[in-house]
Amino acid sequence: MTVILNGMKKVRQFICCLLVMIAASACDNTNYPPATTALEGGREFIDACLKGDFKKASFYMIDDSTNSRELLKLKRDYNTKGQEEKHAYSTASIIILEDATVNDLTHIVNYKNSYDNIARKVKVINSNGRWLVDLKYTFNGNL
């Protein structure tokens, strides 16, 4: 009888641990709202990068190995910056210079931020109803 009770106690502990893990993962803020426009997708991606939130940035980016590598480079570069510079980027405004429509599924967002004022571009594509950044374009410029 003692063996059965000990076994049931361990099963209960296991179930409790499992429920805690599920609850903790449910609290994870990876449920970002999908972008409904190209400009929104590009802006969410840019804002996340400026704030150093690369998990959020990856949500608004095409999920492939090349994009992941490029985002990792951006993350590494961001992490080398000092706290003052990180703060300056995180509080910078995004200035949209142009939202150029290539076709119904592709836009090029030209922007700069108020901290460094360097003009940049991101390609945003509609992938299964979600507007996502194709970061590869930023570095090679090919449509």
Residues 27 and 41 in one domain: no
Residues 91 and 128 in one domain: yes
Residues 17 and 48 in one domain: no
What span, in angstroms and rounded, lies between the C-alpha atoms of 63 and 116?
28
Give me the residue label for tokens 């599924």: 105
Residues 41 and 27 in one domain: no
Closest CA to 143 of 112, 119, 121, 113: 121
Helix axes of 38-51 and 83-90: crossing angle, nearest 10 degrees: 160
* Parent domain of 14: 1-31
Q: What are the pLDDT tens digits along the chain (143 aa)? A: 555 555 556 656 655 444 444 444 444 446 899 999 999 999 999 999 999 999 999 999 999 999 999 999 999 999 999 999 999 999 999 999 999 999 999 999 999 999 999 999 999 999 999 999 999 887 676 55
Give pLDDT, residue 137: 80
Give pLDDT, residue 78: 97
pTM (predicted TM-score):
0.77
Q: To the nearest 10°, report the CA torsion of 41, 95, 56, 71.
A: 100
Give pLDDT, residue 11: 55
Angle at 95 between CA 92 and CA 99, to 5 degrees: 145
| Domains in the chain, number | 2
